[in-house]
Structure 1
Amino acid sequence: MTTPVLEARDVTMRFGGLTAVRSVDFTVNSGEIVGLIGPNGAGKTTFFNCLTGLYVPTEGTVSYKGTVLPPKPHLVTKAGIARTFQNIRLFANMTVLENVLVGRHTRTKEGLWSALLRGPGFKKAEKASEERAMELLEFIGLADKRDHLARNLPYGEQRKLEIARALASEPGLLLLDEPTAGMNPQETRATEDLVFAIRDKGIAVLLIEHDMRFVFNLCDRVAVLVQGEKLVEGTSDVVQADERVVAAYLGEPFQGEPGEAEATEVTEAGTGTSGDAPSTTSTKGEAK
C-alpha cells in the first residue's frame, strides 16, 4: 500500500500582482517517480521553491509524511526532502568527496566545539560521514574521482555529483530540477537508470523536465502545470492523450478538437521523434 510522502494543499504563490502558482494540490506517494511538466513560465520552479522552503507560499501548506513543513530550506532538508537545481550549484573548488560531505551536515550531530577540539566523537563521526560519502560516489560511479575538483568534471558528471550531494542528506523524497538539461542522449539514458536506482532504494522522486521522452519513460504519474495551475494529472498515456496539453504546448487556446498535425507534434514529443519537440525548450523564462 502506498502512503503519501509529500502533500501540497492549495499552494498559491503571488509576487505583487503576479500569481505564479494558483491553488495547486499535489501528492507524491512512497515508491513513486512523478513528473512535473509545462511550457515556459508555467510556474514549475516556483512551485518547487515553495515545496523546499525557498519561498513561503502566499496560501496553502506543504507536508512531508503528515507533518507541515516550516518554510526554511535547512529544516525542509532535515525533515527528509532534498533537491537539485536547474543550474548546477556545486562548490567548484572543492573536491568531489568534499562536495558530498557538505550534504551530510544535516545528519551529523557534532557541534562547533567538537569540531574545534577534534575529540574521539568528532573523529568517529567524520569517518562515518566519509564512508557514507564514498558509498554514494560508488553508487553514482564517481568513486575513482573522489579527489578531483568539481569544476574539472565533465558536465554530465557534475550533474551526478549534485545528485550524490542531495542523497547525502538521507532524503525520503528527492526533487530534481531539469536533471537532463544540456545532456547528450547517452548521458540522459544514464540519468534515467540512476533515477530508477534511486527509487529502488526507497526514495520517492519528483522531477521537473522538458525532455518528454525522458518523462514519459520514467514517471509513474505526470502533472501538467500551465500558467500556474494544474491542468491535468495522470499516467503518461493519459497526459499524452489530453487535448488540452496539446493546446498548452502549442501556445494556442483550446477550442474544440485540435488538428491532426498538432496531435502528431505532441505525440512525437513523447517519443522523441520530432526535431521540433518541446523537449529541448529552455526554462530560463520560468516564473521565479
Structure 2
Amino acid sequence: MTTTTTATTAKAPAPGETVLDARGVTMRFGGLTAVRSVDLTVKSGEIVGLIGPNGAGKTTFFNCLTGLYIPTEGEVRYKGKVLPPKSFKVTAAGIARTFQNIRLFSNMTVLENVLVGRHTRTKEGLWSALLRGPGFHKAEAASRARALELLEFVGLAAKADHLARNLPYGEQRKLEIARALASEPGLLLLDEPTAGMNPQETRATEELVFAIRDMGIAILVIEHDMRFIMNLCDRVAVLVQGQKLVEGDGQTVQRDERVIAAYLGEPFEGEPGEAEAAEVAAAEAAAEEAAAEEEAAAPAVAATGTAADASDDDTDADADASDADASDGTAAGTGPDAAPSADTDGDGDTDRTTAPTTAAEASGASGTGKENDS
C-alpha cells in the first residue's frame, strides 16, 4: 500500500476484536416499528450476513448503523465507542457502506468518484484548498495514487477516465465498493451487492468480498441470493418483521423451521394440496351425479314427446276425413248422436258443427276447411 501524507486511516482491528456491537437497536416511524430490539456483533476478519423477507427492516437497520437514522432506542458501538448520530462522523470513525440503489456521481469520472471517498482521510482544509500550496498538491497526489490502487484492486484501473454513467451495471457496483474502501474503513456494510447481476458477475463479487476480508476489514452484507450468502458468510442473522429471528452458521439457519416458514409461509397440515384435492373430487362427483340424473330423465321425456306426436297425427287424420266427407255432400255430424266438436288441428278456429244443405254450401264449407288446415 502506498504511504501517503493523508490523515490517519482507520486502525486495523486486532484478530477477533469486536468491531461492531449493536445493542437493542429499535427504530420507530410514528406508530410503525421497523426494527425492534436487534442485537448484532461483527468481529474483525469476519463476514456476517443479514437476510430476511422484503420489508423485514434490513436496510433500516443499516441506516441506524451508519448514522442516517438515529435509533429510537438502543446504541451502536464501533470498537467499544458509541457512534455519533452523524453519517459523515460514522464514516470518519471507520464504517463505510454501499447502497441497495447505486449512488454514484454519474457525471464524474471513475477516478473522481473514488477520490470523493478519500475526503474523510485528508487533513487539508478550506484554506489549503483555496491557496493550493505545496501541502495541498502533495495530499492530492497521495489521494490520487491511493485511488488508482483501489481501482486496480477492483479491476477498473483501465477505465479511470471514463464517466461513471458509462460503466456496465456490474462495474458500477465495483466502483461503489472502491469508493467505500477509499475511506479506509474497519467495517464495510454491503447492501445487496449482487442485485441484478448475472452468475459470472456474482462470482466475481464473491471473490472481491473475500479479498476485502483478507485485508483485515470486517464485512456485514445484506443479500437475497441465498447461495451467495451461504457460500460467503461465517455467520448469518435473520430479520423477520423487524426482529432478529435466529443467528448462526449457514446450515443451522437453512434448516431452521422458523426461517423456512418466514420465507415460504406456514406449511399445510398433512399432505400439501390435500384440501384442494378433496374439493376437486367432490365437485367432480356432484357433476357426475347431475349428469346421471339428466340421463335417467331423458327416456321419459322422449316417450312423452312420442305420445304427443301420435295424438296430433290422429287428430289431423280425423280432420282430413271430415273435410273429405263435407266435399262429397255428406252431412257429417248430422246424426242424432252427433255432438259439436272443436277444431283440434291447432289453427285456433272452430270448425262447423252443422252440415250444409246445398252443394254450394258444401263446396264453400270444404274450401273453408282447407283454408283452416293450411
Q: TM-score, normalised by structure 1?
A: 0.88
The corresponding residue for 2:194 is 180
The corresponding residue for 2:89 is 75
- 1:260 CA drift (Å): 8.9
Matched, 1:46 2:53: no
CA deviations 1:7-59 (Å, max 9, x no partner) are: 00000000000000000000000000000000011000000000000000000
Q: How does 1:240-279 map to 2 (within 5 A)?
A: 240-252=254-266
CA deviations 1:74-117 (Å, max 9, x no partner) are: 00000000000000000000000000000000000101110111
The corresponding residue for 2:222 is 208
2:236 paired residue among 216, 222, 233:
222
CA contact (8 A) 1:20 1:227 kept: yes
Judged with a 3 Å threshold, the aligned counterparts in structure 2 of structure 1 residues 259 and 13 are, in CA distance, closer, same or farther, namely farther
CA contact (8 A) 1:156 1:187 kept: yes
- 1:250 CA drift (Å): 1.2
The corresponding residue for 2:289 is none
2:249 paired residue among 230, 235, 238:
235
* Greater relative CO (CA pairs within 8 A, separation 6+): 1
CA contact (8 A) 1:247 1:258 kept: no
The corresponding residue for 1:132 is 146
- 1:251 CA drift (Å): 3.1
Unaligned runs of 5+ in 1: 262-288
**Runs (4+) of structure 1 moved beyond 3 Å?**
257-261
Unaligned runs of 5+ in 2: 1-14, 274-374
Report the number of matched residues: 259
Letter in 2 for 1:170: E
- 1:71 CA drift (Å): 1.1
2:108 paired residue among 58, 71, 94:
94
The corresponding residue for 1:9 is 23
Letter in 2 for 1:44: K
CA contact (8 A) 1:11 1:59 kept: yes
Task: Using the aligned pairs only, state the percent identity.
Answer: 83
Letter in 2 for 1:251: G
* SS in structure 1 at match of 2:211: helix
* SS in structure 2 at match of 1:144: helix
How many Å separate the matches in 1 of 2:187 and 2:265? 32
Q: TM-score, normalised by structure 2?
A: 0.68
CA contact (8 A) 1:14 1:21 kept: yes
How many Å separate the matches in 2 of 1:200 and 1:138? 16
How many Å separate the matches in 2 of 1:69 and 1:112? 26
How many Å separate the matches in 1 of 2:124 and 2:108? 22
Identify, as 1 or 2, the structure richer in strand: 1
- 1:118 CA drift (Å): 0.6
Judged with a 3 Å threshold, the aligned counterparts in structure 2 of structure 1 residues 14 and 164 are, in CA distance, closer, same or farther, namely same
